[in-house]
């Protein structure tokens, strides 16, 4: 496919469990972003990857959240010991990397913590 | 810190009527501004962007936006709304790489558009 692909599209899990969310960016895009969309907080930046540089983790809400990007392509966002306030839609975006290149978003993963 | 304000949470317009969605931003340098649209269950689609140059920018689906530095605004307009335009619209400002963090986007809270037939 030509767009950003995220999986799963929906995830329901119990409080305290760990979850992994996957993002497959557009081929050739060197920049990858994770955002969170929740009712209380709106759309928030979480983390940013650019090429081989150290990621910008300034938006991660707690140390339970982490992300990695393997081989400069696929990224995984991991949430450990999930809490109910983690329930949200997690959106991934990718771009060509230069500041003036627009970000292309996936359809998101809807995460529900019971 | 950068911020975006969308003062209208909900807007209802009749099909065929004109539309203007308001956006005000706060940013310490030249802003990089975007409008995105989100349909239910889907991600964000870019409508248009402003980086520099002509302050009136054209986007997809017949939308346009005007950057007004003096008013710190970037309002979205469409001359004639179609029923398929019903969706949520987000204004965003990008860091533009100035902070070294790529183009992190700060979003407004969104405006939900309803179109009456």
- The span from the CA of A114 to the CA of A14, in Å, is 5
Judge whether A7 is closer than 8 Å to chain B, CB to CB.
Answer: no
Over chain B, what is the mean pLDDT?
91
- Distance from C-alpha of A7 to C-alpha of A5, rounded to nearest angstrom: 7
Mean pLDDT for B1-30 is 93
A83 and A15 Cβ atoms separated by less than 8 Å: yes
Q: What is the mean pLDDT of residues A104-108?
A: 94
> CA–CA separation, B89 vs B37, rounded Å?
4
Q: B26-60: per-residue pLDDT in tens?
A: 987 778 899 999 998 888 999 999 988 889 999 99
> Percent of chain B, pLDDT > 90?
75
Contact B107 A42 (CB under 8 A): yes
Nearest CB neighbour to A48, from listed B32, B92, B104:
B104
Give the mean model confidence (pLDDT) for residues A67-83: 94
pLDDT at A71: 82
* Residue, of A99 and A76, whose pLDDT is higher: A76
Q: A6-43, pLDDT tens digit by residue?
A: 999 999 999 999 999 999 999 999 999 999 999 877 89
Q: Note the pLDDT of residue B100.
A: 47
Question: Which residue's structure tokens are 């992190």?
Answer: B104
pLDDT value at residue A76:
97
A33 touches chain B (CB under 8 A): yes
Which residues 88-107 in chain B show a CB within 8 A of chain A? 90, 92, 94-97, 100-107
Residue B18 has pLDDT above 90, yes or no: yes
**Contact between B43 and A4 using a beta-carbon 8 Å cutoff:** yes
Specify the higher pLDDT residue, A101 or B17: B17
Q: pLDDT (tens digit, 9 = 90+) per residue, A80-89?
A: 999 999 999 9
Query: In this structure, what token pair is assigned to residue A99?
Result: 């500041």
Give the best residue of A42, A49, A59 to mutate against chain B (max B CB count within 10 A): A42
Burial (CB count <10 Å: 0-12, 13-18, 19+), residue B33: buried
CA of B24, closest CA in chain A: separation in Å?
Answer: 16
What SS3 state is found at A60?
A: coil
Work out the mean pLDDT of chain A and round it to a whole number. Answer: 92
Nearest CA in chain B to A110: B41
- Identify which of A78, A97, A103 has the alpha carbon closest to the alpha carbon of residue A17: A78
Query: What percent of chain B shows pLDDT beyond 70?
Result: 94
């Amino acid at each position: 496919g030509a767009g950003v692909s995220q999986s799963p599209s929906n995830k329901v899990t119990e409080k305290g469990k760990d979850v992994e969310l996957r993002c497959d960016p557009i081929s050739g895009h060197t920049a990858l972003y994770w955002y969170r969309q929740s009712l209380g907080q709106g759309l928030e930046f979480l983390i940013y990857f650019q090429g081989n540089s150290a990621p910008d983790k300034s938006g991660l809400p707690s140390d339970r959240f982490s992300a990695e990007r393997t081989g400069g392509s696929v990224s995984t966002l991991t949430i450990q010991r999930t809490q109910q306030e983690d329930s949200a839609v997690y959106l991934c975006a990718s771009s060509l990397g230069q500041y003036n290149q627009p970000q292309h978003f996936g359809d998101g993963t809807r995460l529900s913590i019971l | 810190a950068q911020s975006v304000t969308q003062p209208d949470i909900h807007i209802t317009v009749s099909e065929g009527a004109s539309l203007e969605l308001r956006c005000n931003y706060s940013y310490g340098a030249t802003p990089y501004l975007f409008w995105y649209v989100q349909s239910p269950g889907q991600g964000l689609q870019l409508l248009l962007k402003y980086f520099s140059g002509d302050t009136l920018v054209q986007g997809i689906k017949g939308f346009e936006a005007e950057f007004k530095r003096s008013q710190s605004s970037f309002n979205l307009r469409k001359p004639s709304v179609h029923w398929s335009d019903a969706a949520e619209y987000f204004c965003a400002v990008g860091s533009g790489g100035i902070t070294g963090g790529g183009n992190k986007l700060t979003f407004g809270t969104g405006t939900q558009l309803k179109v009456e037939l």
